Amino acid sequence: MPALHWFRRDLRICDNPALAAAGPDAVGVFIRDPRLRGVGAARTEYLDEALRELGEQRPLVVRAGDPASALLDLAAEYGATDVYCTGDTTPFARRRDGEVADALAAAGITLHTVDTPYAIPPGEVLNGSGSAYRVFTPFYKAWLARGWPAPADPVVETPAVARWRRFRDEALGAYKRDRDFPALAATSRLSAALHFGQIHPRTILAETPDAATDPFARQLAWREFCADVLWHQPQAVWSSLDPRFDTDMRYDDDDAMFEAWRQGRTGYPFVDAGMRQLAAEGWMHNRLRMVTASFLIKDLHQPWQRGAAWFMQHLVDADVANNQLGWQWVAGCGTDAAPYFRIFNPVTQGRRFDPDGDYIRRYVPELADVPDPHEPGVLAPDYPAPVVDHARERDEALARFQALPAR
DNA sequence: TTTTGAGTTGTTCGA
DNA sequence: GTCGAACAACTCAAA
């Protein structure tokens, strides 16, 4: 009798310990879950393509509906008594998998969870007192010291693996220097492939020379840190880790301002370019994720949750751990004691990281012929004037921060 | 228990 | 233009 392998965020056939444990005759299944709301078309389309690719490599049964009922049906069809899957550690997935395991167990079927989408499973890197790290750098050191397993078997060059290897060969050397310049193709663009497990981080780490000091590997450690924080504090999906930000901070909820931000019509060209890249491509350069998030929070004084929800709906790589923790970091309510005065200046950021304005012109065509597209003002007839004055709103953000009660 | 050093990605001001 | 200091006070992690 074959076992089932329930694919979720491990859409690959090599270096997949759960799939291997399911055995050579395992029936691979993917179940579209209609409860998964909040992610948008870009991610769904990416998933469709990933499933198509996977289906070319091995037979794949795709169903839709409640995972527990679908798995019970499939187990009956194939006479399976064991279901294997790679663990997923988000709060939603943990709850779902618990319910599925119970439902299967009631029918005499065992759900086996093997491996995770991380080099080190969330929850396993602990400090000297046996508790979770809340600051990145000590986590990173401990994560490096603990080390990670090598890939379980050789990795076939799927499109995701080929993308990684091309990035490694052609761009990894310049990554540290170029990664913050959004007009350049200097980043790996592997975020969605990592999210869906088309490539596992241990593959990347195994194929990275000097991973312990490599700046790209360090970014992978950030991904692991976010997952670890969320593992220990699942409420961080929608609650500020510093509760004062949900109970005492004064926010604005001006819908027109939020709309200007969403549409990329704030009158701050660097911000608008980022938001329009998101709308056009379902992806935004990380530098712009920080700049646009800072603008919504610190210039428009809106709660981070509102922006995080928008990002989740539009990012092809929408990942609840990376996204929510990243927003909390910008908001200053996250785990690290970020200085409250860290407020991105959208003009300075643009001048520093897009000095020639190429990125701005690519996504804000109204400014294609403007000599200096950085300075907000009346730049073009069909481009909006700045919706706020940054210097003034910076002071306002500082005042609201200082009005918070002491912790 | 107490102490000490450090804390992703920043900005502004003044020398 | 460049550079260093200042920007709260706090929390974390380890000694």
Residue position matching structure tokens 């969330």: A122
Q: What is the pLDDT of residue A46?
A: 97
Please report how many Cα atoms fall inside a 13 Å half-sphere around the Cα of residue A198, on the Cβ side.
27
Q: What is the pLDDT of residue A35?
A: 85
- The residues near A190 (Cβ < 8 Å, ≥ 6 apart) are A160, A163, A164, A167, A199, A204
Closest to A83 measured CA to CA, from A161, A7, A165:
A7
- Closest residue (CA) to C1' of nucleotide C7 is A341
Q: What is the pLDDT of residue A131?
A: 87
The reply to whether A171 Cβ lies less than 7 angstroms from strand C is no
Q: Where are the domains of chain A?
A: 4-113, 136-232, 244-402
Query: Is residue A167 predicted with pLDDT exceeding 60?
Result: yes
Count how many residues are written for chain A.
407
User: Closest nucleotide to A325's CA, by C1' atom?
Assistant: B8
**What is the separation of C-alpha A191 from the centre of its chain, rounded to a whole number of angstroms?**
7
Residue position matching structure tokens 């109204």: A366
Distance in Å from B6's C1' to A347's CA comes to 30
Model confidence band, residue A137 (pLDDT cutoffs 50, 70, 90): confident
What's this model's pTM, rounded to 2 decimal places? 0.96
Q: What is the pLDDT of residue A174?
A: 92
| CATH number, span A136-232 | 1.25.40.80
User: Closest nucleotide to A222's CA, by C1' atom?
Assistant: B8
CATH fold, domain A4-113, is Rossmann fold (3.40.50)
**pLDDT tens, position by position, A249-264:** 999 989 999 999 999 9
Torsions phi, psi for A111 (to 5 deg)? -95, 120
Give the orientation angle of helix A255-263 with respect to helix A269-281, to 10 degrees. 70
Q: pLDDT > 70: what percent of chain A? A: 99
Average per-residue pLDDT for chain A? 94
Model confidence band, residue A36 (pLDDT cutoffs 50, 70, 90): confident
- Closest residue (CA) to C1' of nucleotide C10 is A337
Closest to A346 measured CA to CA, from A360, A325, A334, A326:
A360
- For A204, the enclosing helix (H) or strand (E) is helix A201-206
Average pLDDT over residues A337-352: 83
The DSSP bridge pattern shows strands A82-85 and A110-113 to be parallel
Cα gap A261→A306, rounded to integer Å: 11
Average pLDDT over residues A197-208: 97
The domain A244-402 having CATH identifier 1.10.579.10: the answer here is yes
| Structure tokens belonging to residue A19 | 């799939």
Distance in Å from C7's C1' to A398's CA comes to 11
Distance in Å from C6's C1' to A341's CA comes to 11
User: Closest nucleotide to A340's CA, by C1' atom?
Assistant: C8
The reply to whether A130 Cβ lies less than 7 angstroms from strand C is no
Q: What is the pLDDT of residue A404?
A: 84
HEC profile for A95-162?
Answer: HHHHHHHHHHHHCCCEEEECCCCCCCCCCCCECCCCCECCCHHHHHHHHHHHCCCCCCCCCCCCHHHH
Q: How far apart are the first and last CA of chain A?
A: 58
Query: Is residue A38 predicted with pLDDT exceeding 90?
Result: no
Residue position matching structure tokens 């897009």: A354
Model confidence band, residue A53 (pLDDT cutoffs 50, 70, 90): very high
The CA–CA distances, whole Å, from A219 to A97, A137, A189, A236 equal 28, 12, 13, 21
**pLDDT tens, position by position, A351-396:** 999 999 999 999 999 999 998 999 888 889 999 999 999 988 988 8
Torsions phi, psi for A374 (to 5 deg)? -90, -45
Q: pLDDT > 90: what percent of chain A? A: 82
3-state secondary structure of A7: strand
